């Protein structure tokens, strides 16, 4: 699934531009605990989270997260957005809650690192 499709499905907006909307996303994970992201990511995921501090960007950088979606209309501050831009990590923001955002993406075929939903 490409980033433009994810943006449409989640009715999300980009927090910095320009980004490559044709970026290919093969899997996703959801977490508010960055410790979990650091232990469970295999690299290349889309991260959905309700946490909006700069450690989300740093953690994403370390584990090679491809893009981040902030849920529930939460927005990081300008410095955090600037850090993401510097590191080339696209940021999206959606009004959807975490569960709804994950459900929408899963229903359209995006899976987690196991490669399956069932």
Partner 1 sequence: MEERALEWDYEIEGKDFRNAGKVSSKIKEILKELGFEPDFVRGVAIASYEAEMNVVCHAQKGTLHFFILPEALRIVVKDRGPGIPDIDLAMQEGYSTASLEIREMGFGAGMGLPNMKKNTDELNIVSTVGEGTIVEMVIRPPRSREGVG
Binding site for partner 1 (CB under 8 A): 32-36, 38-39, 43, 51, 53-56, 58-59, 61-64, 79, 87
Q: Which CB sits closer to partner 1, 22 or 35?
A: 35
Toward partner 1, which CB reaches closer, 87 or 108? Answer: 87
Q: C-beta of 53: minimal distance to partner 1 in Å?
A: 6
Q: How near is the Cβ of 40 to partner 1 at its closest, in Å? A: 10
Least distance to partner 1, CB of residue 102, Å: 18
Least CB distance from residue 60 to partner 1, whole Å?
10
Evaluate whether 34 touches 16 at the Cβ level (below 8 Å): no
CA distances in angstroms from 76 to 57, 105, 114, listed in the order given: 10, 22, 29
57, burial (CB in 10 Å: exposed 0-12, middle 13-18, buried 19+):
buried
> Read out DSSP for 57-70?
HHHHHHHT--EEEE
């Amino acid at each position: 699934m490409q980033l433009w499709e994810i943006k449409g499905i989640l009715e999300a907006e980009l927090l910095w531009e320009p980004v490559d909307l044709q970026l290919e996303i093969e899997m996703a994970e959801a977490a508010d605990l960055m410790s979990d992201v650091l232990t469970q990511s295999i690299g290349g995921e889309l991260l959905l989270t309700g946490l909006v501090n700069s450690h989300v960007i740093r953690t994403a950088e370390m584990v090679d997260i491809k893009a981040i979606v902030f849920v529930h209309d939460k927005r990081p501050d300008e410095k955090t957005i600037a850090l993401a831009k510097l590191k080339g990590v696209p940021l999206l923001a959606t009004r959807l809650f975490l569960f709804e955002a994950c459900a929408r993406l899963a229903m359209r075929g995006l899976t987690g690192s196991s490669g399956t939903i069932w």
